[in-house]
Amino acid sequence: MEDTYLHKGLRKKLVEEIKQKGIKDQKVLDAIGKVPRHLFMDSSFTKFAYKDQAFPIGSGQTISQPYTVAFQTELLEVKKMDKILEIGTGSGYQAAVLIELGAKVYTIERQKKLMLKAKALLPKIGYNPHIFYGDGYSGLPSYSKFDKILITAAAPDIPEKLLEQLEIGGRMVVPIGSSYSQTMTLVVKTGESDYKKSEHGYFVFVPMLKGKV
Ligand code: SAH
């Protein structure tokens, strides 16, 4: 579980790269600069850990591209002590970035293997989100409501049950579309059954699937 000067140097370069690509929020850039991404990847991939690319993490899933993580995080406008629900724990990297920003994180993963791996890794390197094995489409009604909801898999539409679990004034960031391409969508809840939606460019995520495996 080493974080060497080499890793730190590579991470600095990565932060510069995503800044060039348009990420402006200094707090988000600092968080990316702090989380040791190489520890979230299988050892055969660690030399790619600080490239701005998605990579396989097993079970047919990927750790998102750092730029994409930063982009979603920026749109979420995370504040200290925000209670955030993440759908798609995956490697746990995105959850760690949210924790660096001072959030309390609840995260759900439908792939048992990945959930267990993240649950073993995160506390070891100083991150303590609440990790759940389950279907993100149901959310966590007993822990709601949430200030922010972040979906890190491609949804066909705004998941209704998740919108219900968002505070009024809260923000949900969700890539919506087909399996080939999705529109990054920001949903701001303006009333019990009202929301405003805005679109923020195209991305490609693995699909948000029903049930758990
Ligand atoms: N946030 C992750 C990247 C996630 S990739 C990271 O930082 O590494 C998307 C993840 O969403 C995959 O692990 C996939 O298994 C999970 N997923 C897909 N559909 C889901 C659902 N309905 N509920 C919970 N997790 C889901």
pLDDT at position 180, please? 93
For the chain, what is the domain count?
1
Give the closest residue to 201 by CA, choosing from 77, 97, 71, 87.
71
Cite the DSSP H helix spans in the chain.
5-20, 26-34, 66-76, 93-100, 112-124, 160-164
- Using most ligand atoms within 8 A of CB, pick from 67, 137, 152 the residue to mutate for ligand 1: 152
Annotated catalytic residue within 43, 44, 64, 142: 64
Whether residue 64 lies in the annotated active site: yes
Residue 3 lies in a domain: no
108-163 pLDDT tens trace: 999 999 999 999 999 999 999 999 999 999 999 999 999 999 999 999 999 999 99
Beta-carbon contacts of 128 under 8 Å, excluding residues fewer than 6 positions away, are: 99, 122
Going by alpha carbons, the residue nearest to atom 19 of ligand 1 is 208
Residue 48 lies in a domain: no
State the Cα–Cα distance between residues 198 and 196, nearest whole angstrom.
7
- pTM (two decimals): 0.98
Q: Which residues pair with 151 in a beta bridge?
A: 87
Using alpha carbons, list the distances in angstroms from residue 156 to 118, 208, 210. 26, 8, 11
State the Cα–Cα distance between residues 171 and 163, nearest whole angstrom.
9
Residue 97 lies in a domain: yes
State the Cα–Cα distance between residues 145 and 177, nearest whole angstrom.
26
Residue 85 lies in a domain: yes
Q: Is 135 in the pocket of ligand 1 (CB under 6 A)?
A: yes
pLDDT at position 50, please? 97
% of the chain at pLDDT higher than 70: 100
Residue 69 lies in a domain: yes
Give the closest residue to 59 by CA, choosing from 104, 15, 91, 14.
91
52-105 pLDDT tens trace: 999 999 999 999 999 999 999 999 999 999 999 999 999 999 999 999 999 999
Please state the separation of Cα 161 from the chain's center in Å: 19
Angle at 55 between CA 50 and CA 58, to 5 degrees: 135
**Any idea what the CATH number is for the domain that residue 138 is in?**
3.40.50.150
Residue 150 lies in a domain: yes
pLDDT at position 36, please? 97
Using alpha carbons, list the distances in angstroms from residue 155 to 85, 88, 151, 186, 203. 15, 11, 8, 13, 12
Residue 182 lies in a domain: yes
167-179 pLDDT tens trace: 999 999 999 999 8
Q: How far is the CA of 211 from the centre of ligand 1 (A)?
A: 12
185-207 pLDDT tens trace: 999 999 999 999 999 999 999 99
Residue 146 lies in a domain: yes
pLDDT at position 15, please? 98
Q: Is 114 in the pocket of ligand 1 (CB under 6 A)?
A: yes
CB atoms within 10 A of CB 119: 17
State the Cα–Cα distance between residues 87 and 204, nearest whole angstrom.
16
pLDDT at position 47, please? 82
State the Cα–Cα distance between residues 210 and 213, nearest whole angstrom.
10
Q: Is 129 in the pocket of ligand 1 (CB under 6 A)?
A: no
Residue 42, pLDDT > 90, answer: no
Residue 1, pLDDT > 90, answer: no
pLDDT at position 44, please? 79
Structural domain range at position 73: 54-203
Going by alpha carbons, the residue nearest to atom 11 of ligand 1 is 88
